[in-house]
Amino acid sequence: MRFLAFLTFLAFLVFALLARWYFVCELRQACGPGAPVDARLQTLQLTEGEDVLLRGYDQLAFDSASLSPRTNANNITFLDTLAAILQARPNRNLTITALFRESEVGIAPGFFENLGLARADQLRKLLIKRGVPQDRFSLDYGISEDRRLREPALFNLYDPNAVAGGFEKVLFTFKNMTFSDANFAYNSAEFSPGASLRLYADSVQTYFSLNPDASMAIIGHTDSIGSDAYNLDLGLRRAESARAFFRDSLDVEVPIVVASEGESRPVAPNSTSQGADNPEGRQKNRRVNFRLLATPADTMAIVQ
């Protein structure tokens, strides 16, 4: 019995060591020489176009598969200063772009389709806690080529009345949520909502049960491949297919209007500055936007 107990104890020690190695080396990416757990690059900055307004701050840190950043005192100072700038400049909004590792592709927490958007939302919440209204933010995302994710977030001020390049800014809030064409078959209006969209739709169903006078607008967008007329029609068919899902699968009875912007309101370049194809930008442009409004009249005003 003592020998069996000793073997059990040894097995426990091996398990504990392996678990510790996995947490430190794989999740925190902090093994090997020159890689302490909380090493930070001092490259975090705030930009406005090509101008750098804040520079030299410690980068934020995200453990593997983690939503929330690990912040140090220097990060707190950056966030406090950024919030003060936004409050002093009400004519400027902020785009928060958060990145995720290739190894984190497929992790889609909550309503968000990827970990980058979910992380950007967490950073937005930190600034909202500092008194900045939610409507002052837009969110963006990207995949980092750095597996250690040493520069996970970008912060850029912009004038909401004169967005550079004419690109649409996406809010990603409950009442103004956007999902990509991953919920549709390729080049088709067939609607096949993924887990994040289904979770969102269930919450919308609950929202309407509590707010029966509210309404919804669903707006389809496409990339620039194909003719203007084809893309306008594809965006509308996708919006109609999404409406049918809310009507038929969720029994939502509030007014739902649909519209299409086709390729006319991109959120990212469809091609690079050298004219090459930009698959990441086109993916962001192929989207469906859900807007929840207080009354049917408010919804009609959006789509007209």
Provide the pLDDT for residue 109: 85
**Inter-residue contact 44 to 136 (CB < 8 Å):** no
Q: Is the pLDDT of residue 255 over 60?
A: yes
Chain-centroid distance of CA 151 in Å reads 17
Percent of the chain with pLDDT over 90: 74
The sheet with strand 256-262 has its strands ordered as 176-180, 287-293, 215-221, 256-262
Q: Where does the pLDDT of residue 272 fall: very low under 50, low under 70, confident under 90, or very high at 90 and above?
A: confident
Provide the pLDDT for residue 37: 57
Q: Give the C-alpha separation, 116 to 122, whole Å.
A: 10
Q: Give the C-alpha separation, 72 to 163, whole Å.
A: 32
Phi, psi angle pair for 162, to nearest 5°? -150, 65
Q: Give the C-alpha separation, 280 to 271, whole Å.
A: 9
**How far lies 174's CA from each of 29, 60, 129, 272, in Å?**
33, 26, 18, 31
Domain with CATH 3.30.1330.60 in the chain: 44-166, 176-303
Provide the pLDDT for residue 6: 41
Q: Give the C-alpha separation, 42 to 57, whole Å.
A: 5
Q: Give the C-alpha separation, 242 to 180, whole Å.
A: 12
Q: Is the pLDDT of residue 22 over 80?
A: no
Domain 176-303 classification at class level = alpha beta
Least confident interval from 15-24, 34-43, 132-141: 15-24
For residues 61-83, average pLDDT: 97
* Multiple choice CATH, 44-166, 3.30.1330.60, 3.50.50.60, 3.90.226.10, 3.40.50.300: 3.30.1330.60
Name the DSSP class of 136. Answer: G
Tell me the pLDDT tens digit for each residue of 176-218.
999 998 898 878 899 999 999 999 999 999 999 999 999 999 9
Phi, psi angle pair for 47, to nearest 5°? -120, 160
Provide the pLDDT for residue 12: 44
Provide the pLDDT for residue 26: 52
For residues 245-269, average pLDDT: 95
- State the pairing for strand pair 256-262/215-221: parallel
Q: Where does the pLDDT of residue 279 fall: very low under 50, low under 70, confident under 90, or very high at 90 and above?
A: confident
Tell me the pLDDT tens digit for each residue of 99-144.
999 999 999 889 999 999 999 999 999 999 999 999 999 999 999 9
Q: Give the C-alpha separation, 292 to 136, whole Å.
A: 18
Secondary structure of residue 262 in the 3-state scheme: strand
Residue for token pair 């887990």: 195
For residues 240-249, average pLDDT: 96
Q: What is the mean pLDDT of the chain?
A: 88
**How far lies 180's CA from each of 68, 84, 221, in Å?**
23, 33, 9
